[in-house]
Chains A and B, each alone.
Chain A
Amino acid sequence: MNPLVISALVQQVLVPEIAAIIRAHANATNGQMPTDAQVLAALGSDTDRFIGIGNAFLASKGVPPSA
């Protein structure tokens, strides 16, 4: 592959993608690392949220909620 193409790919695609990932992480954590209590709480709330979203989708299809 042409070095100019690789350079353009790095500048136009890789760098913005990596910057977006870093920015999203910083925004999500408010620049702070999580504590034990926050991680334990996050596991409970994240799983509950996804279970709720999934069961709402199943209900919209007339499928009983997953046991």
Chain B
Amino acid sequence: MNPVSTTRAEASHLSEEVERLRLSLAKAEAAASDAFRDTARLIRLLTAVGTPSPPEGLLARTLTVLSEVYSADVTCLAELVGDRLIVTASCGLPEDDPAGSGGWVIGPTARQALNRGQPLARSVSDSDEVPPSLRGIGVRFAAWIPVTLDPGAGGELLILFRRRPEPFKQGDLRILSSVGYRMTSAFEAAERAAAIDRLAKTGHELARHLDMPRLLEEAVSLLRTLTGGDRAWIVTLSNGMAHLGVYAGLPDESMPSWPRRIDALPAWGAARHGEPYRWQTTGPLGALPQTGLCAPVMAEGEAIALLCASGTRPRLLGKATTEVVTVLANHLAVAMRNGDLYRALARSERKLRQRATHDPLTGLANRVLARQSIEDALARQPRMGAVGLLFCDLDNFKSINDRLGHEVGDELIQKVARRLRECVRPDDVLARFGGDEFVLVVDGARSLGDIMEMGRRIQAALVQPFHLRGDRVQMTASIGGVLGMPGQATPSELLRDADAAMYAAKGKGPGRVEVFDAAASHRSLSRLDLLSDMPRALQNGELSLEFQPIHALASGRAVGLEALLRWNHPRQGSIPPDVFIPLAEETEAIVPIGEWVLEQACRQAVRWRRLPGREDLAIWVNVSPVQLAHPDLVKTALDTIAGAGLQPGDVWLEVTEHSSLTEECSEPFARLRDAGVHVALDDFGMSYSSLSYLRRFPVECLKIDRSFVSGLAESETDRGIVRAILAIAASLELDVIAEGIETDVHRDVLLELGCLRGQGYLLSRPLPPDAVTELLRATGPAEGGGGRRSPVRRRGAHSRLTPR
């Protein structure tokens, strides 16, 4: 063999061998490449599915990887809703693609895949199996992989569309099927975890909504998010009726009207046993079928509400959704229970607060709240204006209360409160400060003129008479007003000054308004000041007596004298008895003062009885119930009378019909009476229980109240009352004295009716002792004797201690 040709042949052979080896190597590399690619593909897919992440992120990532590793132009998840496939997630379809909203009618291969539960692939070439937006752009192959885990949740497919001319292989379908299940399983787990996580984070926050509407709004919002439903609503159940609580989402004409009977609810059969209820409706033609879920909210074994959600997503019927909604229902049950407890607590607290700050009779603010309101108003910026305060005291309320009884008195207070409330501004604070005292706090007042105007409005509001159980009562109020500047005045000062202004008003007569500026407030003395001055008034020599004669009406001659107390305050001047007598009673200063009055009156009487023809002159002294309660009264009084040189029978003690004149007071009266002292009942007829006093007390004389006397001329009623009093007195053999005789007519009518004695301005005003002496001298001896019983009477004439 030619070595050269041998060499060539070998070279050729080697060359072929090299080429063969090269081809083998290329094949081996290609095979290795394929193997690596398949492995890498699977690992990437499993990694995408297995990496923990939020549900949407997991789907997006897995669909993206599927698109990459299978050269799919579009990968998507689609749910079967009715006969349409609706895309729920995709890689490769724009977010606003109609495949995600209306979907497309499911094709035969997709349906077959769902029915069989097997992955299928085929050439599609722009057929109906492709969503409309993908038609006409060269999609050639598609694969449908059923991925439904929950049979109740409808059909769901993983779908891949590919333009590249390479069909999906059987091997691909097996992997896709496995990955698809894992993906939806991981997605549902992630979705459930996210929902539970959200519930764990936010569910308990439901409990912070203590008022029901806000609680339900929060819950329905959560419900809609958790279920992914198009709409969500909460139905509350009570007393056999179901009410639509709140509603979120799309309006739906097919929603039933509310309220409805509970047993008419389709869900009721399940809900009453605490079970969720699911439904599916085909809906009107052309519309997507609706699925729905309803879970009961249970409290102590009873369904108290229903959580409902509906929409086109079959997932609503899935186990995961049901579980999550059940947890939400439990949260809501707790929150609703909390809300109930809170509301009950709040109600109790409101009541307590109301009780602590409001007057139970009128519902107005009480003293505490009034003071707080003044404080608050004074704490505001001065530019908001001044703080006005009006102090109103009803005139003569006490006598009305005594005459008509406490119940009627309370009714009157309520009616007055109503009228006052109507005439004040909404922002003003009206308070009942005491028995018949009202306070009005006017925030943002501009001037004293405003306060005066407000006071007049209050007066005007009281002008119309009050009708109280058949009685017409005319009521006025004495009103004092002041103005305080924030940052300068204090609540105590304002109250004191307003109170002082009110007493100044009262001093001028009933139904008056008085406003104090700063200077007047400074000058004035409040009742508190008077209260502290009262006990010292006696020792300071500020007290004095005047006497009003009691006359025989026929002759006009004085037959007795009633002692009347006066207080001349060093700064305030003359203080009205209406003001200081209650203060003296309140401080019990009335006891020593009463003793002093009796002693002074008796000594004066002794002097007058020395005048010619006046040896029978009787002295009348008023006694307060406070004195009667004092254990030493009887002894002191008898000692005083004796000490002055009088006989007990020369003295008349007068007591006013009064609510505080209790049964206990009858005992000292009886003892005085037994000792010979006469007892008279003042202001007779004003009390609803006047007659009972006659039974309880050893009364010998009735003094007819001035209000009946003043009406004698024109009022047949008043005349009838006087006639009745006289008849009662006659039947009981009691003496009668008419008070408040101011005209000749009064006197003539009284005489005509048979009343023989009286007192009043017509006959004589209250006079100082010297003037009385003059009067007695001028008019000569008493006719018939003041201290002796007249023919029709067993008991004689008298005077009073408490001034009129």
A binds B: no
B interface residues (Cβ-Cβ under 8 A, vs A): none
